[in-house]
Every structure is written in structure tokens, then in C-alpha cells.
Amino acid sequence: MTVTEKDKKFIANTYARFPVTIVSGKGATAKDENGKEYIDMGSGIGVNSFGYCDKEWIEAVTAQLNKLQHTSNLYYTEPGVELAELLCKKSGMKKCFFGNSGAEANECAIKAARKYSLDKYNDSDRNVIITLKQSFHGRTLATLKATGQDSFHTIFGPFPEGFIYSEANDFDAFESVCNDKVCAVIMEMIQGEGGVNPLDKIFVKKVFEFCSERDIIVITDEVQTGNGRTGKMYAYQNYDILPDIATTAKGVAGGLPMGVCMLGEKLKDTLTPGSHGSTFGMNPVIAAGAVSIIKRIDDKFLSEVVKKGEYIKSRLGNCKNVKSVSGMGLMLGIETEKDAKEVVAKCIEKGVLPLTAKTKIRLLPPLNITYDELEKAMDIITEVIDE
């Protein structure tokens, strides 16, 4: 049986895969089972921050693998602590909880926000969380419910309660759904799966002011936007605000599974022994990989991310079929006259791997993609869009 046939036979049928089997990669270039090469403009959905098989990352991971692959959270370990210190310095947050995915990071944020509210107000009804329409927060039951798209709420019920939805970029709507039972709001600064839609600066500023006056916890979901993706370490830094909680995952460990719930000043002591936990969380091998990624994302590196994003935008600006380009840094959404899925399928034939987000083509290339690779990828993408 081929890989494709075995996959169909033994893997749960949750993914509509493209007819490509990726077997290896180097930098931003992936190779399939026939040796055909592709420039990867999706990084495994924003995960491979430094591309495939980055030398420094492999060295960090393998060195740790040769020392200690796992122990339990009953004992202290070094890499997670080093990573947490780095993340706090770069984010302005105060403490980290480590899990294994974006959904888990958001679960932790939901729990922490509710516990903060209960500890402080002793009102078990003050538990409601406002989320934005068109958002995406994960696939667990709670994070599905937190996802502000009705299509995610049709099966798998009953869901956890306590989520209400408000239109993004409409502060009046936000104000009108907010009541004294609300303990938190969660939002992506740029909605990723929802179509690469950045929030308006004025909306964000008003929500922050409104929430801080009422002690409503602001959670920013930086699962996709975090770790340098938008040209800042975290996307909220493009908005000059500091949330109470920031969650991240995807790109944080350069290709290994990790989710982080970063707690700000208000919530740094909210979680207590036994109130939350994870067997695999803070795994030393993954944390060592993450340290090697995070420590290299400095201001100089971030300014390159911005420049590469500008380069992509300038190439798209010359396309007759491009209607709009949204996003920041290397998280971009392209609206064209054509069907996004057809554009992606054609690009794959020609050796480029882009993503889609709703009706847009979505680009999330490795942050360290070379101009040579970027140029080749944009030659093909612009050709397919305009042909």
C-alpha cells in the first residue's frame, strides 16, 4: 500500500489533504517522495518559524535529547525555566504555564481568567467571556465554543457555557453585550483562520480602556500571530497595549508541540498548586528548541520580517487580479478575483505551498526565508493569480 492508501485506511478522516507526501526539507524548501521541491509559504501553518532542519535548532534539541527527554512536573528542570524567563522579558508578561497546543493554552487562559474573577469577587456567575465573531480559538469543547463562528457549534454539543460573541471592530456592539457577569474578553489581534483580519487600533484601544476600568481580563490569542510572525514579538506590541494574558503556540518551539499561557501582573499568582497541570507541559526537549528560536527573534530579526512582508506586498501590488492584501509582517491574506483554493492547488503543481483562510490565500512563510526563496515563490504565486 502507498502512504496515501495507508493514510486513508488507518488515519481518522479529519483532513482533506493535498495529493503530496512531504518527506524532508531544508530552510523554506520542502521535498516530496518523488524529489520534487516546493517553497513552503505556510511553514506547517506558522509552526516552522525557522524553516525545516534549522541547524542551531537541531543542535539545541538533540543536545537536550541526549541529556534528559522528560521527567514529571514533580521536579525542577532547566530548559522550561530559561524559556519562561525569555518569554516574560520579550512579552512583558510575568509567569508562564506550559501545555502542548494552542487550544490548551487558551483553555488555561479561560481557567485563569475565571479563577481570578472568582477569587476576587466571590461571584460564581461572573464567569462570562466575550469572544469576537470570525475568531478561532481551538478544537477542544471549550475553545470550539469560544470560537465565534456558528459553523463550529453544530455538532459535538453540549458545550461548556459562558461565551458570548461580539462583532470585531464594533465597540458599540461590544459595550452593549458586556454586562456585570463578564470576566474576560479573548481576541486575536489579527484573526488568522477567520481570514487574516487585523483588528482596528481604535477598537482595541477602546476595549482595553473599557475592560481595565471594569477589571475585565483581556486575553490576546497569539497562537498564530506570536513569536515574531507580525514583525513584533507579539502582535499586541503593534497596538501599544499590554494584555492581562497572552497565549501562544504554533511557532514558539520551531516545529515541536508547545502551547504557552503567559500571565500578566494581575494574574501571576492566580494559578495555585493543583489548580491546573499537564503531564507533557514544559517538556525539556521542546523547551530547549523553543529557547533556540525565541532568543534569535530580536529587533534586527524583526525588522527583516517586516521588510520581507513589504517585499511580498510590493510584488502583489503589481498583480491585476489582486483585490486586497491584509495582515502584518509575514502573516498575509490575499483577496483575488479567483477562487483561493484553485490558486493554491495551481501553486502546489508549480512548486509553492501557500495556505487559505476563508476566501483568501494566506501566506505564513518561515520567518528566516531567504530572498532567493521568497522571489521564486512570489514569481509563481503572482503568475498563478494573474494567469
Ligand X SMILES: *Cc1c(COP(=O)(O)O)cnc(C)c1O
The contact set with ligand X (CB under 6 A) reads: 101-103, 106, 136-139, 188, 192-193, 221, 223-224, 249-250
Cell of 4: 496515501
Which of residues 73 and 140 has its CB atom nearest to ligand X in the complex? 140
Measured between alpha carbons, how far is residue 174 from residues 169, 193, 314 in Å? 9, 21, 35
Buried b (16+ CB within 10 A) or exposed e, 76-100: ebebbebbbebbbebbbbebbbbbb
- Please say whether the beta carbons of 290 and 252 come within 8 A: yes
Query: 183 — phi, psi (to 5°)?
Result: -110, -20
Which of residues 235 and 347 has its CB atom nearest to ligand X in the complex? 235
Report the run of H or E that residue 183 belongs to, with start and end: strand 182-187
Q: Provide the minimum distance between the beta carbon of 285 and ligand X in the complex, in angstroms, as a whole number.
A: 18
- Please say whether the beta carbons of 178 and 213 come within 8 A: no
Report the run of H or E that residue 87 belongs to, with start and end: helix 78-91
Q: Provide the minimum distance between the beta carbon of 136 and ligand X in the complex, in angstroms, as a whole number.
A: 5
Cell of 102: 494552542
Which of residues 221 and 304 has its CB atom nearest to ligand X in the complex? 221
Tell me which residue has its CB nearest to ligand X: 102
- Tell me which residue of 103, 112, 196, 92 sits closest to 146, measured CA to CA: 103
Which of residues 223 and 288 has its CB atom nearest to ligand X in the complex? 223
Which of residues 27 and 354 has its CB atom nearest to ligand X in the complex? 354
Instruction: For CA atoms 8, 13, 14, 17, give the dihedral sign.
Output: positive
- Tell me which residue of 337, 335, 338 sits closest to 346, measured CA to CA: 338
d(CA 115, CA 318): 51
Which of residues 146 and 374 has its CB atom nearest to ligand X in the complex? 146
Size of the chain in residues: 387
Which of residues 47 and 340 has its CB atom nearest to ligand X in the complex? 47
Q: Provide the minimum distance between the beta carbon of 359 and ligand X in the complex, in angstroms, as a whole number.
A: 17
Q: Provide the minimum distance between the beta carbon of 150 and ligand X in the complex, in angstroms, as a whole number.
A: 18
Q: Provide the minimum distance between the beta carbon of 193 and ligand X in the complex, in angstroms, as a whole number.
A: 6
Give residues with Cβ within 8 angstroms of 309, minimum separation 6. Answer: 231, 327, 328, 329, 330, 332
Q: Provide the minimum distance between the beta carbon of 169 and ligand X in the complex, in angstroms, as a whole number.
A: 17
Q: Provide the minimum distance between the beta carbon of 103 and ligand X in the complex, in angstroms, as a whole number.
A: 3
User: Which amino acid, one-letter code, is at 221?
Assistant: D
Quickly tell me which residue has 495555585 as its cell: 272
Q: Provide the minimum distance between the beta carbon of 46 and ligand X in the complex, in angstroms, as a whole number.
A: 7
Which of residues 17 and 307 has its CB atom nearest to ligand X in the complex? 17
